[in-house]
Structure 1
Amino acid sequence: MTEGPSFSVLYVGSDDRLVPGLAEHIKSESLDVAAERTAADALDRLSAEPFDCVVCDAELPDGDARSVRQTTRERAPRLPFVVLVGDDETTVLADLRDDSGAEYVLVDADPEPYATVAKRVREAVERGHSRGRSDQDELASALVGAATEATWVVDESRTVTFANAATERLFGCAPSTVVGDDALRAVEPVDSDSVRDMFETVLANPARTVTSEIRVRPENGDRRWVECRCRNQLQDPAIDGVVVTLTDVTDRKRKERQRRRFRRAVEQAGHAIYITDTDGTIEYVNPAFEESTGYPRTEAVGENPNILNSGEHKPEFYAGLWNTILSGDVWKGEVINERRDGQRYVVEQTIAPIEDETGTIDRFVAINTDVTQRKAYERRLQRYENIIENLPVGVYRTTPEAGGEFVEVNSSLVSIYDAYSKSELLDRSVDTFYADADDRAEFRAQLQEHGRITEFEVEHRTLSGERIDVTLTAILTEEDGATYIDGILQDVTDRRQRERELERKNEQLEQFASIVTHDLRNPLNAAQSRLELERQASDSEHLAVVEDQLVRMEELVEDVLAIARHGKQVEDREPVDIAPLVESCWQTVETGDAELVVDTDRTISVDTSRIQQLFENLFRNAIEHGGRDVTIRVGTLSDGFYVEDDGPGIPAEEREDVFEHGYTTDDDGTGFGLNIVEEIVTAHGWEIRVTDGTDGGARFEITGVERREQA
């Protein structure tokens, strides 16, 4: 280590590498560096001990460099003061640039910050010593020559009279080519006026140091940003000019531009973004955060992200999150948060660590995407999918070509086709399930023509070879530029079998009715004719009995014909007002002293002839069992109508039997009247039940009846 002059330096800050850095670059056995971390401790130290120079961090735990400089300037105006400024601490520069007794080093932009700090310290101390000492002149010369910053001396005409070796590193030319030239030689034209103003200002104010950032164009053509510091030293005969120090700040400017672009991007981002320190304290939030959470920036900054905690997640969830990001990894997950107003919302969150220049994590950035609506849509979609999957009919999506391929199917379709799994259907073409290829062609033709098709009846063949009757309802749809057939397939095999069985029974009924009409009526008519002839020849009391039996036989024939006719399903209906229809039916029945009360104005859609038979049979039944002075009422139900009387009623244990064939409690009855009523009700698709009447008689309620306006 070389012998040198005594240096007494006070360092105020937290960079543990600075003190050994000064010792390494100054290389003086007489160097004495004291260190304090806070402004308060530093000021106490300055009051107790003399120092040749103060080196201070821009930001301190209890203040910043400006407060320390203000105090030292009051106590020791000539004490040199050097400030260490980071990229994010440049706000202090505005107050220090015009302070001729203070200098600063941009530590983040300087490739060798400790060497630069050492240089500035030596320069500052040397300026405090006599310039007549030769050893100090040699030191100053050495420092200027070894400086990493380009240093020029410019006379009053702006001509460069000295340029150090660092000039070549910055401008790509030898220092000798600069000497004798105009100081504006490398300045970009856009900044020329600014440099002229600086020069005029420093000439007019010898006590001031003027600083500005300008653009220069080196010999290699790559534009650079430099910090230009001008200090008037015309009164110093050893210098006799303005000392211009040019520091390359291109990288810092680039980083500043990147930070500005990043900040603009973050400010305008649609995602909620916030930044915290390593303890989780929020340092920044963007406008999207304010909008999505309801917390304004003034309330959020300084708080912990747990202000958004909804209580939905266990402590282990957050512990795992912190373990991930503190280890340097990125955490991604779904979080249920709570807004300022208490409303909960779902976010997809990504948290990434931010490292400083040494690779140490010093912050975290969190990006939240609000997926509340998407999650709600996904839940609705899942419900719809569950419904479709569990429908008792086959649901499918196929391609529209002649063969067709299954794209999606539900479980019911798998079951209908006797497949083992969905994949088995997805591997087969649609046309293989058609029993007749022409049916597939007809289905496609109608679908192409109309865009949709409803209950297209066709015969299909299952994978087990069984033939089944199905109906197809489908629609052509387009999705992502592709066309599909979406539809429903219903297995109607059992229904078709029942319909065919019903048709067969109807044919048998028709045949039976024909037999009754022809083979029974003819003998009955002949017997009635013979009875009339016999009455003309005899007045035997037995003839009355024969006449009664013949009448009874005729009623049986009529009832049997009614059963055969009314057992068929109603196909043709017309709107009918119940009230006038009931009045008309009442006129066709022997009512004696019975009374009819009509309490309805409803219109229903019916087969008129059959509904007349229904009311007539119910009226006869009421009169036969309630007496010839019974009161019968017809009224309205919410989904139908009723017929009731005030007669003796029907015991509860017999109500299920009254609609059976042949059931009667009247010796003269056929037992078919109420059975015919039930047949008519069933043929219309309605239901009938027996209950107690309002006044204790029997009440027949017919429900499931469509109103005319709903038909």
Structure 2
Amino acid sequence: MVTSPLSEIALFGPEGRGISILLVDDDEDMAELSATFLKRELADAETTVRTDPEAALGELREAEFDCVVSDFDMPGTDGLELLEEIREEGMEVPFVLFTGKGSEEIASRAISAGVDEYLQKGGPEEYPVLANKVENLVEKHRAEAQVRRGFQAIESAEEGIGIIDEDGVYQYMNEAYAGVYDRDRAELIGEHWEVLYPPEETRRFNDEILPRLESEGTWRGRSTGVAEDGRPVPERLVLTQMDDGGHVCIVQELDREDELEAELALKTDALDAAELGVVITDPTREDNPVVYVNDWFEEMTGYDESAVLGRNCRFLQGPETDPETVAEIRAAIDAGEPVSTEIRNYDADGELFWNLLNVFPIRDDTGEITNFVGFQNDVTERKRREQRLHASTARLEALFENSPDMIVIHDAEGVVRDVNRRFCEEVGYDEEELVGMRVWDLDPTVDPEHARSFWADLPTNTPRRFEGELKRSDGTTLPIEIHLIRLDLDGEDRFVAIDRDIGERTARERELVDRNERLDRFTSVVSHDLRGPLAVARGNLSLVAEETDSEHVAAVENALDRMDALTDDLLTLAREGEDAMTVEPIRLGELVGACWGTVSTGDATLAVESGAVVEADRDQLRQLLENLIRNAVEHAGEEVTVSVGRADGGFSVADDGPGIPPAERDTVFEAGYSTADGGTGFGLNIVEQIADAHGWRVRVDESGAGGARFEFAGVDVREP
């Protein structure tokens, strides 16, 4: 393992202690004052005061200080003479000359003598400046010391350490690095790293190692350099990316024993890391015994290495192992040929598993077989998926063939690829005749160019619904509703169309249009010939009310209101189906909420119990719901709760009012039936007419709360 002395540099980081300052000043009061201010400015400072420069020098010999702050003008030895003595004794402690006598001459002498900082004494305002200079000097000195110690560690390291810039040129290397290649350090610095590697290894670095270093930030492994005399140098190498694009290299030469051990360890690790069992047998020994298994084989089979070595691989076989597969493997081994097959084996617990087995012979330089290596992979889960897929496919094929709907599969060019039995029966063609035909050959409403564009833009697994027409073999046509979905079937782009006969629905829609035409004249009579006289009567009643205070006016007004309501309901009945219905998906809850806002409901409560989607004509469904809501409020009072939810085969509208007696439930839909004061008797008749127009069945029952429940069946409804 290559260890980096670079990691030792971290040991020389910030020492986690305060700043130790030696104050030298012959004026004791001034020295104490300076110490006080420094401690105030530097919370972690420790100060030692000496008034005699010689005593200060002795103190430096005995203890370690981070900085010396000295006066200049002192008897016997001045500040600059003290600095000279400190440096002569090899002490590199930072030195600040803090003097009361300031002049250009003293400043010049101080700089020449190597003073780190020079500051003239003044008032208290000078001490923050002094503290800042001391703190900066100490930090700089400590950082430089850390770098020096780190550099010494790198220089003295046994491993080779080098720094390469972003252009691949050596900017630094220690002696050990150059020594790995029997080179002189001075000659290598400034050279490109390729000078130390043969061409094939240079290609490996450029193609594999350096791209991985750039993406992952580090690389470690084995490589081969070249010495000055051309000798190959097997090495362990660690590369670490730097922020500026260069990288740090740590190299250690491998001796022959290390090289062989590393090679063997690498191969063993590779076999153990492979997620498949590896078994090596020796055919030169009796019964071709196992001589090696990797970790994955032990995990896959549950057998320890000690339970396997020396045995023939047949111990994995059992009662359900196919004898023909065993014979195939045996024949290949006897012939010295490779074999690949799937075989049922047993693990150490006696559990069956499917084994994907690949066996290869290994030959020596003379061509003789020395070993067989077997690669084994547990594919039990894959086999189970295949079996499930086979069973599912068989079920899907049965559904396809026996579906009551017509199903046709075509490609992106409109070519029919498959049809089911129901489709053949309906159009009068055999399957052989239909396969190969184009969609527009069967549906005359399809435009080829438009269809190709539509299919190209249709998203996968997203069904679409539209109407078309099938042309039978006898020339007749059949209106159909088409549900189309685009699928990827085994890599092939296919379109599955499920066709439903909508002939009855289309005929019903035509019948509604015809009926509306017959009722058009009646609508004119109701809307014009009745509303006109009613308006005249209401106007004259208003005049009578102004001229006469009669109790009969209110009765006449109520009668006119009832006639208006009757007229509205008659118009609704007459106009039912006036236009061909437009059937579309409608969210039942949203439409009920809209209807609730248009009906006078007072303090009534609405409860929507389903988000179902209903296929219906929006305007007619709205009329149906409004009549049921109005009916509930009129018969159960303005505090009624109306609930809308799913029912068997459709939806329901229920309330918690008094309900409808069983004896009357068969007559509630008759025109003129009403039990509420002021009711027209046409509201529920309109509900039944709308239901019939959609092909729905409606019946009255008792709700869970004891009120009335109107249940609609035969509805094309689904959850969103």
The two structures share one fold, judged by TM-score above 0.5: no
> Which of the five TM-score ranges fits, normalised by the shorter chain?
0.3 to 0.5
* TM-score, length basis structure 2: 0.42
Bigger Cα Rg:
1
